[in-house]
Amino acid sequence: MRLKLLAILVLVGLVGVRAAAAQRLVPPFPTPFAVQLGNRFPAPQPHPTYWKEGGLIGGIGLGLFGVYAGTQFCATSDATRHCGGTIVGAGLLGAATGFAAGALIGHQFGKHQ
């Protein structure tokens, strides 16, 4: 008796799974959410420019000038302490300013491909 009941439950379970899968509805047309995901007009790719090269040239140039200026300020100072921090700070400030200015200038010129 128990074996028959178990066989019936398994058979009904298998048929029920197939019937439930067959009852799923698929829309015949795309939903608005699916249309939003497919972008028909992708954003244009940015044109390559010389911003990195300009930043490096400006950063190196003004960084060296900052080191020179820091050295000159320390040489004319009356302080007796070591001026390494002042020289490094002036160099880093010059390099950061030069990189920003050089990158802005280099961004104005497009690379030809």
CA distance to 7, 9, 14, 16, 33, per residue, from 3 (Å): 6, 10, 17, 20, 50
DSSP 13-25: HHHHHHHHHHT--
Its pTM stands at 0.59
Per-residue pLDDT of the chain (113 residues; tens, 9 = 90+): 777 777 776 666 665 555 555 566 666 666 666 555 666 677 788 889 999 999 999 999 999 999 999 999 888 877 778 888 889 999 999 999 999 999 999 999 988 86
Query: Which residues does 112 contact at the CB level (< 8 Å), separation at least 6?
Result: none
